[in-house]
Amino acid sequence: MSPLVPTIAPAVQFDAAIIRKLSNSGPRYTSYPTADRYTPDFGHGSYLEAQAALRMRGGGRGPLSLYVHIPFCDTVCYYCGCNKIVTRDHGKAAVYLDYLKQEIGMQGRLFSGMNEAAQLHFGGGTPTYLSDRQLQDLMAHLRANFAFAPDGEGEYSIEIDPRTVSPERVHALRMLGFNRISLGVQDFDPEVQKAVNRIQPEEETLAVMAAAREAGFRSVSIDLIYGLPRQTMESMERTLAKVIAADPDRIALYNYAHLPHLFKPQRRIAEEDLPPANVKLDMLALCIDRLTAAGYAYIGMDHFAKPGDDLAVAQRQGRLHRNFQGYSTHAEADLVAVGVSAISAVGNTYSQNEKTLEGYYERLEQGRLPVARGIKLGTDDLLRRYIIQMLMCNFELSIPAIEQAYPIRFRDHFALELAQLEELAREGLIVIDDGWLSVTPRGRLLIRNICMVFDRYLRQPPAAGSATAQPLRYSKTI
């Protein structure tokens, strides 16, 4: 566990008036181009070409990141928008693991002798839906197919539902090689938990956190959500006090996006129980105030970390990166993702697996990787991705560095964007001079709005065959 250490944390300024004025719908930029722009023209063959090109370029020198998607949950949480399968039939997981191991073997052969895995993340769903024996077998299979960096050099994390683990099981996860753990908490208030169908006694969560520290996990992270049904300022104040007392190393604070037309479980939430928009903003202000006062550094978007945590250190050193799991310490690592719906980032491509078990199994039975769609990035995509990464992670951009890396004159190439940025500058969100584009503390909460200026796809209709056949639907930027 990383202790709090004296440092100057990146400042963030909450301005309700400017948030109300500018907050609209937009991407979260876990990738650029965003996943709704991937098309089925990119399939199994395209992925093999990207991987072969990576090998030819000597793509074995940098670290490799692995993501494993376990889609199953025992029960449904009404707020959830993840790609999941709710079932109490654990036999389905056994079948899934057989196919998952087949995909891992195929990917392992492709990357044999290349990159060493320095990052592993198990997400879902609920990865701890699997039994200890199933997890042990899966980890052994991963290690048989990929070379892993030593424990002290790698970041190996797993998302857990505290309701599915005991303190003894937490120790077993550490013995399997996981050294970071992320707990879904969302809210400690019993009435809020009832409203979202996630009854999770505070004592269970605290016992799991204590066990993680006893077991030697390097980092303990918790997830919170504001804007849930029956949340009030008073209940949020109590939850924050308990969170701060629990002393996690990282905190992910998410805005609940109520999109019942997209996510069926959310239809079980009574809209009259949701806090009004102005109260949600007050909740966000309260969270920022309490967490920063407690010594947490604002990393960006919805992430906070202790100043001594690897995430905060990486940001101060300019090594912070953003991918499909959020903020990461491993910049520019190729990401190999396995499992239903998982998204890989290999070379200058993104690719997403089939979203249904039937489609996923069928592709693997054909002896093919289960890639359903993807995209190959052009030079302009790479340029804009770099800019968005710099702004999302560091809140600043060196214009001369861009012009040295790419054959452009920044002010000519981005003339349209600069005109829009001037409006944001007048609002006090950014500062632009000859050398730098810098996001002010006032603008950091609206970083998605700023990055959207550089997203040329937002000015275009979806491509034929892309995932979005209707007008794009994104969550609110705040």
CATH superfamily of 38-336: tm_1862 like domain (3.80.30.20)
Q: Does the annotation list 359 as a binding residue?
A: no
Q: Where are the domains of the chain?
A: 1-33+378-478, 38-336
Question: In terms of Cα–Cα distance, which of 232, 182, 178, 171 is closest to 205?
Answer: 182
Cα–Cα distance list, 300 to 15, 220, 322, 431, 446 (Å) = 16, 18, 10, 18, 10
**pTM, full prediction:** 0.92
- Token pair listed for 221: 């992270």
Q: Does the annotation list 82 as a binding residue?
A: no
pLDDT value for 8: 40
What is the residue-level pLDDT of the chain in tens, covering all 478 positions? Answer: 333 333 344 478 888 899 999 988 889 898 999 999 999 999 999 999 999 998 888 755 678 999 999 999 999 999 988 878 999 899 999 999 999 999 999 999 999 988 899 999 999 899 999 999 999 999 999 999 999 999 888 999 999 999 999 999 999 999 999 999 999 999 999 999 999 999 999 999 999 999 999 999 999 999 999 999 999 999 999 999 999 999 999 999 999 988 888 888 999 999 999 999 899 999 999 999 999 999 999 998 889 999 999 899 988 888 888 888 778 887 678 999 999 999 999 999 999 999 999 999 999 999 999 999 999 999 999 999 999 999 999 999 999 999 999 999 999 999 999 999 999 999 999 999 989 999 999 999 999 999 999 999 998 876 655 554 434 467 777 7
Cα gap 133→140, rounded to integer Å: 11
Q: Does the annotation list 269 as a binding residue?
A: no
Q: Does the annotation list 113 as a binding residue?
A: no
Q: Does the annotation list 126 as a binding residue?
A: yes
3-state secondary structure of 151: coil
pLDDT value for 1: 36
From its phi and psi, is residue 189 left (phi > 0), alpha (psi between -120 and 50) or beta?
beta
Q: Does the annotation list 67 as a binding residue?
A: yes
Question: In terms of Cα–Cα distance, which of 324, 370, 330 is closest to 345?
Answer: 324
Q: What is the CATH number of domain 1-33+378-478?
A: 1.10.10.920
Q: Match 């109590």 to its residue by tokens.
A: 238
Helix or strand (DSSP H, E) at 159: strand 155-160
Cα gap 88→86, rounded to integer Å: 7
- Token pair listed for 365: 């039975």
Instruction: Say which residues have a Cβ less than 8 Å from residue 429's Cβ, sequence separation at least 6.
Output: 18, 22, 439, 440, 442, 443, 446, 449, 450
Cα gap 398→59, rounded to integer Å: 27
pLDDT value for 81: 82
Q: Does the annotation list 432 as a binding residue?
A: no
Q: Does the annotation list 81 as a binding residue?
A: yes
pLDDT value for 284: 93
